[in-house]
Structure 1
Amino acid sequence: MDQQQSHAHQQHQEHQQHQQHQEQQRHQNQQAQHEQYAQQGYGDQRQYEQPGYPGGGYDTPGNPGHQYDATWETGQAAMPYTAPPADPYGGQDPDLYGTPDAYPPPQPPGRRQEPPPRERDWEAEEDPHPEPEEERHPFFTGEDDDPDEARATESAGRGGRGSRGDDRERRNKAKKRKGKNGFACLVVAAVLVGGVGGIGYFGYQFWQGQFGEAPDYAGAGTGEVQVEIPKGALGYDIGNILKKAGVVKSVDAFVAAQQRDPNGRSIQDGVYTLKKEMSADSAVKLLLSPASQANLIIPEGKRNAWVYERLDQRLDLEPGTTREIALTKADSLGLPDWAKGHQNVKDPLEGFLFPASYPVGKSSKPEDALRKMVSRANQEYAKLDLETKSRELGMKSPWDLVTVASLVQAEGKTHDDFRKMAEVVYNRLQPDNRETYQLLQFDSTLNYLKGQSEIKISEKEANTNTDPYNTYKHKGLPPGPIGNPGNEALAAMLDPTKDGWIYFVATDGMSKTEFAKTHAEFLILKDKFNASTNQ
């Protein structure tokens, strides 16, 4: 027996002696505790532990002693003491730990220690900061995939035994691994070549997007299609709308064409009639041409009856359809509160179909178009703060100011006329007016009542018609606006002249209007008018 086996045998004997001593000590302690409980009369049996080992238990640093028993390996409760079984080896100590690969004998939990190393390998000592190992896959390393063959090879290597056949088999496997490695290199090379090709393709696409020409159609296109350009739309917005409608082939082509055209940035919002598959240049030119515009343009001063008729024609509706919708749905089209509930009003929307250009395609609905016009009027009137201005000018409400502006628009012929015409209105409405006694005496109000635009109104008709819109017969303003005033008429209504004008006459019967401050001056202008119209 060499020195190492002798040392293991000595440890085994010490372990057996220790177990026998422990069993005897525990048996004595249990008997003493039973006697103590019997004397004191305790119903529950308590276990008093003593620090240290052997005895009451084993200690670990910072923890109280725990009762030790022979079952610490399994964690089961302690069993009553029984005599050890007969020695199956007949008193002979078997050499259980005498081999080089044997583990040291088991120790109690409190005394377990790592077995002493057989030989300390200073070079293989663990690094406190090891570097992470690279991933190794059998596909790239060439290692065998079969775990059974790997274990067999390892076992043969440790034992130093093996046949020549095994050596030949290992050499064949090594050749296979080299073949795998070669195949793996080919795969990697193919991936790299494919990556370079992909980079080249996407690089070409990038170059095309940056420097190449955008896809575009050729020619002026075919068929017809209506598109609506919203207010505030820019080049790319318009291009997207046209592409979705099939007008242009790409957004970039349209934007490039718009930038090339000197007037390309002046494309307005509205509805346009274009063609399918047009070149970008052709699309830009058609958008800039009035011929393509499908917008409904309301001129300044037009009455609502004119607007209704145009909407019926544009939408292929029966005559009177839009007017009926306007009258029955007026309160749901966006009128402000101060424009509702007035008496004797012919049309509640009069004065609120603001003069402008509106997109009205063939698929539009009359109420949608009317709602856009009312919304535009609200925006313009809000800018002017009509509620505050009405108090400053002595009017009851913004409704009166819009009515004044419609009168200015209807009677004035030029921009210079508007401010004077506004002063005429305000001066005639004054309670101390001794020239006309609050009678406006405007032909335009009687013409609105009759749905006409006559220059000459007979005195008989003016004096006999009792409708509230006849300002020859009724004092003050008519019940409501008589048309849709534009921005110039609105501005003049808010800033009239202060020269004392009370009378005016279109002396040439057409575009020339002259003003007077007294009735005598008015008669001179009237004679001038009669002379020009009788020729």
Structure 2
Amino acid sequence: MTEYGRSPGSEPWHPEDPLYGDQGWRGQQGQPDPAAPYGAQQYQPQQAPQQQYGGDYQDPYQQQYGGQGHPQQYADPHYAPQQQYGDQQYATGGWDTGQQPVMPYDPGPGTPYGGQTPDLYGTPDAYPPPQPPGHRAASGEQHGRRREPEPATDWDAEPEEESHPFFTGADGGESDGYDDEPEAARGGGGRDGRGRPKKQKKGRSGMACLIVAVVLAGGVGGAGYVGYQFWQDKFGAAPDFAGQGSGSVQVEIPQGATGAAIGNLLKDAGVVKSVDAFVAAQLRNPNGDKVQAGVYDLKKEMSAASAVELLLSAQSRNSLIIPEGKRNAWIYEQIDTKLGLDAGTTKKVAEEESEDLGLPEWATGHPEVKDPLEGFLFPASYPVKKGAKPEDVLAGMVARANEEYTKANVVGKAKSLGLEGPWQLVTVASLVQAEGKTKDDYRKMAEVVYNRLKPTNTETNQLLQFDSAFNYLRGESEIEISESEINSNKDPYNTYTRKGLTPGPIGNPGTVALIASTSPTKDGWMYFVATDGKHRTEFAKTHAEFQELKDKFNAQQGID
């Protein structure tokens, strides 16, 4: 029960309570309890003046349970104090959804009020008699304030059907023949079992359904066409030429270019018809990702597959490839050949313009250097266009060397390794590149160099004794050198007679040899011998171990 359905006391309702049970709408007035402590004195409720419009508003629902103006105390817990509303008296239990409330009525003569009860509803301004929940007046005045009519709400009502003539089949208000039937003929007087009006069926026009079907069919057809076009654009074969193409065109592929970037270059040059076709052909080719930077001689209007194959062919590549360890003399000859120049042209340019080709400051001003550009024509692939100048090609190689040396931090690493500067570090890397055979050899070879440069070296007394350095000064390779010849030559590049490093690099080291020279092993290696004469190098820490390796080499070579 809510607080509106029981008395203010804490005791439960009791059958003796006048509000207990279903009293109906006849209304009963609670009788005073004979056992009340007031004796024969009957409770006289305080009379509240009738609320008039225009005066000060007072809360008609104010309960007066012994508050101000009500000194009486209630001893009977079953006696419900009364609430005054105008001149009417209501039981404070209020309305309860589960119990029928007791409504006030005119008790007639002999009531505690004595005499006739005045007619409270005799004037137009009086309050209407109270109504049970759910049946109160939708309009009128309550509690001194006007209330607008509330629309009746049926929560069980079904949503109203569409009444547009297109769907109902009605034509300008004409009946479909069903609504004209008498109500009795439709059964139930037009109401359902709960007394609500029945929903009348709406007719369906065959023509309307046909129109809807046609519209839907047209929409499906249009959507299908759009979907087909989308599929063709996204998943259909990309536009492509057929065949091997014709004519000739030169295309330069820059370093690090992706498949899409290469495709765009080829499309702009008229080699392929679309970028998508080239990318698809490159993905289908197992070696498609091996396209290198360079200048290529291609044909116009080639199929994408043919273009990929030609890019992977060495015959179409118009680039200059510099292997690791190659000397400048060999590189000059290659540039002359690529550019169609007379032999010696590029070497002369290098000698005359070396200071204008972009060498860093730490790479200039070294005495006794045979070639100031040695070590700065970095091993890589360089595009060489027709009509290019040799100084442009050399400048590109020097720029690439500067970039790689900066990445390797040759300036900082040289100090940590006890070298005079980065120029010496590049020189060490060139020696390691020339003497090492495999990647595993490079770090050991670098340790051999650093150990022999130490002032405490008593094994070789700071002599490197590298045959590759002597071959460099001779301008030859893989030659047999007699001990008498080596020991009698005093050239600065002869490491058998001159202590320390050579005046400069003896070739162009690659990235692997360069990194190995910045991080050598620390195992104590001092000697090395190419025991098979070509591919295998073995290392030793003492002179005795070195002699054993030397004897092994002589035996394999058939030398007594």
TM-score interval, smaller chain: 0.5 to 0.7
Decide which of 483, 493, 498 is 1:474's aligned counterpart: 498
Decide which of 313, 316, 330 is 2:354's aligned counterpart: 330
Contact 1:455 1:509 in 2 (8 A): no
1:513 is aligned to 2:531: no
1:282 is aligned to 2:306: yes
3-state SS in 1 of match to 2:547: helix
CA distance in 1, matches of 2:459, 2:245: 67
Displacement after TM superposition at 1:526 (Å): 2.0
Displacement after TM superposition at 1:484 (Å): 0.9
**What TM-score, normalized by structure 2, do the two folds share?**
0.56
Deviations 1:43-67 (A, max 9, x none): xxxxxxxxxxxxxxxxxxxxxxxxx
Query: How many residues are treated as equivalent by the alignment?
Result: 334
CA distance in 2, matches of 1:515, 1:258: 45
1:296 is matched with 320
Displacement after TM superposition at 1:527 (Å): 2.2
Displacement after TM superposition at 1:521 (Å): 2.2
> Unaligned 5+ residue runs, structure 2?
1-226
3-state SS in 2 of match to 1:272: strand
Correspondence list, 1:44-443, <5 A: 215-261=239-285, 263-443=287-467
2:517 is matched with 493
3-state SS in 1 of match to 2:444: helix
CA distance in 1, matches of 2:374, 2:551: 35
3-state SS in 2 of match to 1:292: coil
Deviations 1:355-401 (A, max 9, x none): 11111233322222212211111111111111111111000000000
CA distance in 1, matches of 2:259, 2:235: 19
Contact 1:463 1:472 in 2 (8 A): yes
Displacement after TM superposition at 1:436 (Å): 1.2
Displacement after TM superposition at 1:252 (Å): 4.6
> Unaligned 5+ residue runs, structure 1?
1-202
Which amino acid in 1 is paired with 2:343? P
Deviations 1:185-230 (A, max 9, x none): xxxxxxxxxxxxxxxxxx9999986677554322101243321011
1:451 is aligned to 2:467: no
Displacement after TM superposition at 1:531 (Å): 2.2
Seen in structure 2, the aligned counterparts of structure 1 residues 439 and 260 have a Cα distance that, compared at 3 Å, is closer
3-state SS in 1 of match to 2:418: coil
Which amino acid in 2 is paired with 1:430? K
3-state SS in 2 of match to 1:296: strand
Deviations 1:264-308 (A, max 9, x none): 454332212212221222112222334432222111111111111
Displacement after TM superposition at 1:452 (Å): 0.8
CA distance in 1, matches of 2:488, 2:286: 60
CA distance in 2, matches of 1:313, 1:266: 25
Which amino acid in 1 is paired with 2:318? A
Contact 1:311 1:366 in 2 (8 A): yes
Displacement after TM superposition at 1:236 (Å): 4.0
Displacement after TM superposition at 1:430 (Å): 0.6
Which amino acid in 1 is paired with 2:412? T
Deviations 1:451-506 (A, max 9, x none): 11135311122122121111111111000000111122112111112222211121
CA distance in 1, matches of 2:277, 2:502: 56
1:532 is aligned to 2:556: yes
Which amino acid in 2 is paired with 1:454? E
3-state SS in 1 of match to 2:459: coil
Contact 1:387 1:398 in 2 (8 A): yes
CA distance in 2, matches of 1:506, 1:263: 35
CA distance in 2, matches of 1:523, 1:353: 38
The range that moved more, 415-424 or 451-460, is 451-460
CA distance in 2, matches of 1:400, 1:324: 26
**Percent of residue pairs identical:** 69
2:49 is matched with none
> Is the helix fraction higher in 1 or 2?
1
CA distance in 2, matches of 1:520, 1:379: 43
Seen in structure 2, the aligned counterparts of structure 1 residues 206 and 503 have a Cα distance that, compared at 3 Å, is closer
CA distance in 1, matches of 2:470, 2:357: 28
CA distance in 2, matches of 1:271, 1:337: 32
Contact 1:354 1:374 in 2 (8 A): yes
Q: CA RMSD in A?
A: 2.5
1:81 is matched with none
CA distance in 2, matches of 1:381, 1:242: 33
3-state SS in 2 of match to 1:358: strand
Displacement after TM superposition at 1:429 (Å): 0.6
3-state SS in 1 of match to 2:432: helix
Deviations 1:420-449 (A, max 9, x none): 111111111111111111111111111000
Seen in structure 2, the aligned counterparts of structure 1 residues 413 and 213 have a Cα distance that, compared at 3 Å, is closer
CA distance in 2, matches of 1:264, 1:454: 37
